[in-house]
Structures are given as C-alpha cells and as structure tokens.
Structure 1
Amino acid sequence: MAQNLARRMRPRNIDEIVGQKHLVGKGKIIRRMVETQLLSSMILYGPPGIGKTSIASAIAGTMNVAFRTFNATTDTKKRLQEIASEAEFSGQLVLLLDEIHRLDKPKQDFLLPLLENGQIILIGATTENPYFSVVPAIRSRVQIFELKPLEPEDLEFAVNLSLQDKERGFDFDVTIDDDALYFLIHSTNGDLRSTFNALELAVLSSEEHHVTLDDMENSLQRKAATFDKDGDAHYDLLSALQKSIRGSDVNASLHYAARLIEGGDLQSLARRLTVMAYEDIGLANPDAALHTVSALSAAEKLGFPEARIPLANIIIDLALSPKSNAAYLAMDEAIADLGKYGNLAVPPHLQDGHYAGAKDLGRSVEYQYAHNFPNHWVNQQYLPDKIKNADYFRPDDMGRYEKALHSRKEWIDEQKKRS
C-alpha cells in the first residue's frame, strides 16, 4: 500500500464516483456523454478534494481511453508536447489539466489546435470560477461544470467503502467509534481527500486499528468541541450563535463562532449565517445579506484556517447591524392565511389576458397599469376578495432602508383611505 488511501480509493469508473449526482447521476450530462461515447472537453471547478480528478480518471476508465495529467503551474511545454504525440499515436486521450486558470500563453497556443481536432479531450480542473479566471479562447471550446462540496452522507459512504474494500482500502480489519466517524465526516467541509487522509492517519496511529474520538481529534488536529454522537452540542452552539447575533452581543457571537470554527463544520455555519442575514437582520440592513453571501463564498474558497477571517468580518457585521424580522413574519402570516383559506381565486382583472378569447372571459379587462398614474400607483384591488384587507408587512423602522419602505407603505395606505 505505497499509495495513500485517497489515491487507492480513486474511482475506476463513473459508477464509483462519490457525490456530484447533478453531473454523473442517471440521465445527467456527464454520464450521458460517457454512455453515448460523445465526450467533449470540459472544465470542472469547485473547492479542493471534491472529485475533479476522480471524475476525469473515472471517465477515462469507463471509456477505456488513455488518461494523462498535466499541471499548468509545474509541468513544462515539453511535457505537453509529449502528451500530444501520445494522443496522435493512440487516437484519443483524456487529459486532466490541473490549475487550468494558470496556463500560460505558449501552452495555450499549443493546446488550442489539439482541442479543435479532437485528439485530446481536455478536462480542466480549477478552484477558481473559470468565467473569470480562464481565457475566453479556451472557455469557448469547453463546457463548464460546477462541482459541489460533498455532503456528510457522501463522506460516510466513502469511509465505509474504504473499510470494507480489502483490496484498495485497508487490508486489515478496522473499527471506528460512532462519535469519531461523526466528527470526521462533519469536520472536513465536504473534502473527500482530507477525509481519507485524516482517516488513514487515525487508523495507522490507533491501537489495534480501533479508531476512537481521541484518535480522530489528533489526526485532524482539532477538538470535537462542537460534535457529539447525537449532534445535540453542535446544534446548541448554532442556536447560541444565532441568538447572540439576534441580541447584538458581538462578543458572545464571536465566542460561539470560534467554537464552531474549531469544530470545522463550515457548511452548517454558512447555512445558519445565511438564514440569520435574512431572518434577523432582514430589511433593516439589506446589504448585510449581500456581505454574507460574499464572505461565505470567500470562506468556502479559502477553507480553514483562513476561512475564519471572512467569517469574523460577517459575524461582527451581522451582530452589530440593526435588526428586523418584519419580512420573515410577513411571509409567515401570508402562508398561515394560505393554510386557512386555501387557493383563493385571483381577481379577474389580474388574470392573464395575453391569449385569444381572454377578454371574452373577462380576463384582465379592468386592469389599470400602475405606471400610467402619478407616483406609479393606482388604487385597485390585488388580493382575493376574502382577504382583501389583509396587512402582513409591519415594518420595524430599524434601518434607513426599512424606514423608506415604511414611508412608502404609509403613503399608499393613506391614498387608499382617500379613494
């Protein structure tokens, strides 16, 4: 077992790929290309360790064609020329071009004709968004697919497979405690390579190949502070973080965030912060949601430990932002009325009138186009009759944007009273 576990467990065909079902699942685009033997060049992009190399090698294995790798940063143009010669001799070759966004112009110029004549099927791999980082000349000749971080269930499947496969996994019996497994699959941020590396280190350094939580903590070099067997402590911390941000306690927010960061579960933290930006800050500071999405995108690209830096920025921003749950409550009230009254009939003047015979049915006949009136407003009924006086949105006036919305709403309400 000279190769490490991640390399040994690399999928040999498309059926062995872990995750990425939106691309390799039944009826999906990459699987269809492979099954019809009509493979075209592509770029795969996404975070490290989620299957870019695996998909490339699995495609080559399934189609039974030559497979070579090339790194845009470290490999020379001479190496690319050697691969081109091999492709000419073999008829077709799949080339995994790692870090394709770093490919220099001489290598680009050499590669483009090979893509045109189909001798080389290029599978570019990058952690950068190729729409921004890859030159248009290459981008226009390939299809671009985004890979997603693997879910904990995907990682658990892969771990169990490696424990069962005596040929490629471990050629001896391994046992792993439930809390150690839970910690492993929730602390590697959907990165299968990191999961395999941590598992292998824990197995080889454990007594009698029995992996405990302590073994896994040592392997990952972080404490399982946020994880227990049932996940209760983990969710308690997420709850405490949200309530601290909601309560504008920046110090408590940073404390609980630090504990979650030490646990390494970026996915859960990202989901909760995104919810908070809309649920707890909402219209009092709409820019906070934009900042959150941007910061979390940066955190996912960076990975830990650097991910803590954009996370710190957005946690402080959210904690100290003005708070409003008016939009969240308004939607819940609207949904509650839907449950109470069901699907009420849309008023006839709002119904679609763009088809022949619509006017004969009274569809859209009396509709008044708001832009034709002063202040782009006209008093007409929009809600169904049974709830025509419903008033869901009650602004908190906690920020300038929400105050502006409130002012507009007050003006409209006043106009309705006068009409």
Structure 2
Amino acid sequence: MQQPLAYRMRPKTIDEVVGQQHLVGPGKIIHRMVDAKMLSSMILYGPPGTGKTSIASAIAGSTHYAFRMLNAATDSKKDLQIVAEEAKMSGTVILLLDEIHRLDKTKQDFLLPHLENGRIILIGATTENPYISINPAIRSRTQIFEVKPLAPSDIKTAINRALTDSTNGLGEYPVKLSEKALNLLGEATNGDLRSALNGLELAVKSTPKNQQGEIELTLPIIEECIQKKALANDKNGDAHYDVISALQKSIRGSDVNAALHYMGRLIEAGDLPSIMRRLLVIAYEDVGLGNPQACARTVNAVTAAEKLGLPEARIPLADAVIDLCLSPKSNSGISAIDSALTDIRAGKAGEIPDHLKDAHYQGAAKLNHGVNYKFPHDYPNDWVKQQYLPNRLKHAQYYQPKANGKYETALKQQYERLEKAQKN
C-alpha cells in the first residue's frame, strides 16, 4: 500500500522544510546546528501537522545520520534498546520520539545516559507544553523549540510542490487546481499541512478526468475532501481575514448582533483556532482594564471551547462574544506598552538607576549598585517616593488611564494620587 502524500513529501534536507523559518531558515538555530554538525537533543512542540516530524527527518537527511522513529506511548523499552545498540555499533542515531510527554520513568531512565554521551540525538515531538508536561530530567538535557502553525502561503507552496513532484508527489496526474480551491487548502486547514496534503490527494484520486483529460479540482470538491466550507464571496482569497477583522471591529464597536454574525461565519467554516486566538486578542486589546473580569472569563471560555471542539464550542464562545461586546472598553494597556516600546526602539532606553541595580553579589556596593534603595514595604502604605525610570526618561508617562469601567476608574484615581505624591 502506498504511503500517504504527506509522508511521501517529507523534506529530505533542511533547506526543503516548508515554514518554521525562525528555526530552520539560513542563519537560524537548527540550520546552524546542521551546518556545524553540532546537533543537540531537542523538543519540538506545537499543533499537529506543522512540521515536527519533517524537521527531524530533514535534520537526519542533511547530516546523513541514521534516523529512527518511535512513539513514547506505544513503543517499549526494548525498542529503545534496539536504537541504542545501533548507535553503539554504527555511530550517532537521530531518534524522533513522538508524544514524548507520555514517556514513562523506565524509558526515561534508559534514555538519559545515551543522551549524555551523545550517541542518540533525541528529537522529541509533542503537542503539549513541554514546560508543564515533560519531566525536568529530559527538559534539562534538551533545547525546546516552538513549532508554529504554517502560514497559508507556506501551505500553498507545499501544495504546488506536491503537484509538480512526479517522484513522490502527484506530478503524474493532470491536475488543474482552481485558485479558490488552492486558497481554501491554504487557509481552512489552520496551518496543518498534513491535512491539506491528505485532502489534496483524496481529491486528486477520487475525481474523474473531464473531457479534456484533466482532473479539475474546484472549490466544492476541495470543500468536500477537507470537510471545510469556504467563506462566502471570497473573490480574492481575503475573505477569511476580512471576517476576522469584522469580528474584532464589531466587538470593539459593541455591536453584539454583528459580532455573532461574523463569528457564525467562522464557525461555519470550521475555523475554531482563529476564533479562539482572536477573542483572546480582543479581550486584552479592546476591553482590557475596562473590565479585567471579562478578559478572565474569555480565557475560560476559550479553554472550554478547545476541550469541547465544534459544534459545542460555539456555546462558550458565544457567551464570550456577548460579554466582550457589552463590556466597558479600554485600550490603555496596549497604548501604554506600545508607547514604551516606541521610546526603546528609538534608542531612548537610558541607564537603570544605580539604586535599582542587582545587589546580590559580592562587590556590588563598591559599584554603588543597590545602595540607597528604599524598600517600599518598610514605609507607610507600602510606598515611598523614589525614582524608577532612567534619568533621560524620568518624566515619561506611558499609561494614560481611562474611566470607562469601575475597575480602571479606580486605577486612574490611584495612578493620579501616586503621580501627585511623587511630584511633591
């Protein structure tokens, strides 16, 4: 039986990897490791279908080391022993260990000495946060890299590559893929290249040739094969982003009905990840300090939606949209940090005052570091007049409080009291 297209199209070298250029691009960390043949064990974490296995196989292909794949949940200690024996006999082996967060203590204890001596280069793959789910003993011996969902342009590049590759891809098939269908494959699979390639292969192999001898893949065919609907009126491939933009602007403008409409479009397209991410952005960008409780409730709603999946996810998400629409709004938080960043990027950082510098080492006092620092908790109301900003910025005011909700109104009053006390 022939392997799936996504398997056949895995990159053979690091330069063939699609996306993840923050890791594998020229001059980036994994590319440098490969160029220098100074590989260290690593953990790649991120959503399914984003290239974790591809990166591992590409590293092996570029370095010409033996490459083995195991699953921490289903493969046994004996399987690990076989890999270790191979490494002992023939040299370095790159081991891709999928679901590494499910590695039990027995297998872990067996692996550790082999990681220490460098015979096995471990590349762990997981969809879980490794800082929470992976044992510290493994974490301390690996570098941790986040693999991100692929951009639509990356997925389109991989699709076009698959359609022209006659050896491993679909180059021998006379495929005519419409632009709208290509856009849907790039956008509706939410950065999951495996899903896009598998949907493409199903479409190609299940669609009969037309009278011209072509396999014509239209938008409805791709919709059926990936089980995702295209957003209506997508003439230029931009409707996906237009709907997300309209959702945020409707919530910002407190129009509940419009916001529910635009979220409904995204739900109908099956784009749960975009909805969840956008609602979190909206909560903190547009509501923010106007109603921090609504921000926290949005986080809870997104967590519930992620666990439920569609269609039930629509319920907590609808609650969040209504809550955010009708909440007091404040963008003072994003305005404040962007104002601070503007100064920093303009080279206005300035030197940290001596009394704020670290004093937890011998000789700090000789440098005047930490000297004359006033510990606020030693003073009434846990506050004392003291300069914190660098001299060149000591009069800077980044936070401009608003009074659109009870919470930020209280913050505004406290901010103004402290400003007055600092100036006296």
Q: Same fold judged by TM-score > 0.5? A: yes
Q: Determine whether 1:319 maps to 2:325.
A: yes
CA shift for structure 1 position 147: 0.9
Query: In the alignment, what sits opposite 2:20?
Result: 20
SS class of match (2:162): helix
Q: Secondary structure at the residue paired with 1:259?
A: helix
TM-fit CA distance, 1:370: 12
Q: Secondary structure at the match of 2:284?
A: helix
Please tell me whether the aligned partners of residues 285 and 321 of structure 1 are also in contact (alpha carbons under 8 angstroms). Answer: yes
Asked if the contact 2:199/2:226 (under 8 Å) is kept, the reply is: yes
Q: Quote the residue 1:181 is aligned against.
A: 182
What amino acid is aligned across from residue 31 of structure 2 in structure 1?
A: R
Number of aligned positions between the proteins: 394
Percentage identity across paired residues of the two chains: 58
1:201 match: 202
Deviation at residue 140 of structure 1 after TM alignment: 1.6
Q: Helix, strand or coil for the counterpart of 2:61? A: helix
**Worse overlay, 83-92 or 238-247:** 238-247
Q: Does the 8 Å contact 1:43/1:123 carry over to 2? A: yes
CA deviation after TM superposition for structure 1 residue 93, in Å: 1.1
Map 1:65-104 onto structure 2 (within 5 A). 65-104=65-104
What is the CA distance between 1:124 and its match in structure 2? 0.8
For residues 217 and 259 of structure 2, what CA distance do their matches in structure 1 show?
33
CA distance in 2, matches of 1:345, 1:228: 45
Partner of 2:290: 284
* Unaligned ranges ≥5, structure 1: 355-367
Question: Could you give the per-residue CA deviations for residues 358-395 of structure 1, whole angstroms, max 9, x where no partner exists?
Answer: xxxxxxxxxx9996998757699x9x9xxx99998362
Partner SS, residue 96 of structure 1: strand
Contact 1:254 1:315 in 2 (8 A): yes
Alignment deviations for residues 162-200 of structure 1 (CA, whole Å, 9 cap, x no partner): 111111111222111111111111111111111111111
Q: Does 1:138 align with 2:145?
A: no
CA deviations 1:245-272 (Å, max 9, x no partner) are: 2354545533421311322445654554
**Normalized against structure 1, the TM-score is what?**
0.79
Cα distance between partner residues in 2 of 1:301 and 1:124: 24
- 1:6-405 to 2 correspondence within 5 Å? 6-170=6-170, 171-208=172-209, 209-225=215-231, 228-231=234-237, 233-250=239-256, 252-266=258-272, 268-270=274-276, 272-289=278-295, 292=298, 311-312=317-318, 314-325=320-331, 376=383, 393=400, 395-399=402-406, 401-405=407-411
**Residues in 1 aligned to 2:97 and 2:79: alpha-carbon distance in whole angstroms:** 12
| TM-aligned CA deviation for residue 7 of structure 1 | 0.7
Change (3 A) 1:9 1:309: farther
Q: Secondary structure at the match of 1:44?
A: strand
Distance 1:344-1:213 versus aligned 2 partners, 3 A rule: closer
- TM superposition shift of 1:157: 0.8
1:296 Cα offset (Å): 5.6
Please, what is the CA RMSD of the aligned residues? Answer: 3.9
Give the AA of the match of 2:287.
Answer: I
167-176 vs 185-194, greater mean Cα deviation: 167-176
Residue 237 of structure 1: CA displacement?
2.7
2:229, 2:334 → 1: CA distance?
36
Q: Secondary structure at the match of 1:15?
A: helix
Alpha-carbon separation, structure 2, partners of 1:255 and 1:297? 22
Inter-partner Cα distance in structure 1 for 2:228 and 2:140: 43
Query: Which amino acid is 1:117 matched to?
Result: N
SS in 1 for 2:169: coil
What SS does the corresponding residue of 2:96 show, helix, strand or coil?
strand
Please give the secondary structure, in 2, of the residue aligned with 1:109: helix
Report the equivalent of 1:357. none
1:55: Cα distance to partner?
Answer: 0.9
* Cα displacement (A) at 1:289: 4.3
Give 3-state SS (helix, strand or coil) of 1:10's partner.
coil
Query: Could you tell me how far apart the structure 1 residues matched to 2:307 and 2:127 are?
Result: 7
1:90-129 deviation line (CA, Å, top 9, x unaligned): 2221111110111122212222222222221111111111
C-alpha contact 1:47 1:301 (8 A) present in aligned 2: no
How many angstroms apart in 2 are the aligned matches of 1:106 and 1:37? 30
Distance 2:273 2:28 in 1: 25
Alignment correspondent of 1:359: none
What code does the residue aligned with 1:223 have? K
Report the Cα distance in structure 2 between the residues aligned to 1:331 and 1:133, rounded to whole angstroms: 32
Structure 2 unpaired stretches of 5+: 210-214, 355-372
Could you tell me which residue of structure 2 aligns to residue 362 of structure 1?
none
Kindly provide the amino acid, as one letter, of the partner of residue 204 in structure 1: K
Cα distance change, pair 351–155 in 1 and its aligned pair in 2 (3 A): closer
The one-letter code sitting in structure 2 at the alignment partner of 1:284 is G
1:279, distance to aligned residue in structure 2 (A): 3.7
Q: Indicate how the Cα distance of structure 1 residues 37 and 206 shifts in structure 2: closer, same or farther if over 3 A, else same.
A: same
